[in-house]
Amino acid sequence: MTTITVTNIKATGETASRAVSGVAAAWAWVDQMTDNAIDQSNNASSFTDEGTGVGRVSVTNAFANSQPVTNITTYRSTIESGTGNSGASTYNTSDLRSITRNSAGSTNDTEFGIVAHGDLA
């Protein structure tokens, strides 16, 4: 494998370049409702179901520290009508934690996307 070291990147067809530090270090789309599996991802290797609405996404290449910036987005139709909430955090340098809740505040299995930004080890 060859490594290319850059400060900025620009994808084919894009007109603007962006700093490499702004590109997600890891992301995954998880279906916790039917198969407890990652459907699409980058730098994510597996999903572990840890109970209703709670899980862990393991990353392929670890983060340099255990505090990457994380965000989670739920597929709204699976949360009920109304507003649910969700949260993402880290366990350690190799795992991202997901928690999804319905509009009543109870943990709830759903489809969700989780994204993490941070330096890789």
Domain positions in the chain: 24-117
Cα separation, 108 vs 34, in Å, equals 13
Note the maximum CA span of the chain.
50
pLDDT in tens, 1-23: 788 888 887 778 777 777 776 78
What pTM was estimated for this model as a whole?
0.80
* Strand 85-92 with 95-101, pairing: antiparallel
Torsion of CA 91, 94, 97, 98, to 10 degrees: 170
Question: For 43-79, what is each residue's pLDDT tens digit?
Answer: 999 999 999 989 999 999 998 888 888 888 877 554 4
The tokens for 83 are 């507003």
What are the two backbone dihedrals, phi and then psi, of residue 25, each rounded to the nearest 5 degrees? -80, -30
- Cβ-proximal residues to 84 (8 Å cutoff; 6+ apart), any chain: 74, 76, 100, 101, 102, 103, 108, 110
Q: Is 2 exposed, middle or buried (0-12, 13-18, 19+ CB in 10 A)?
A: exposed
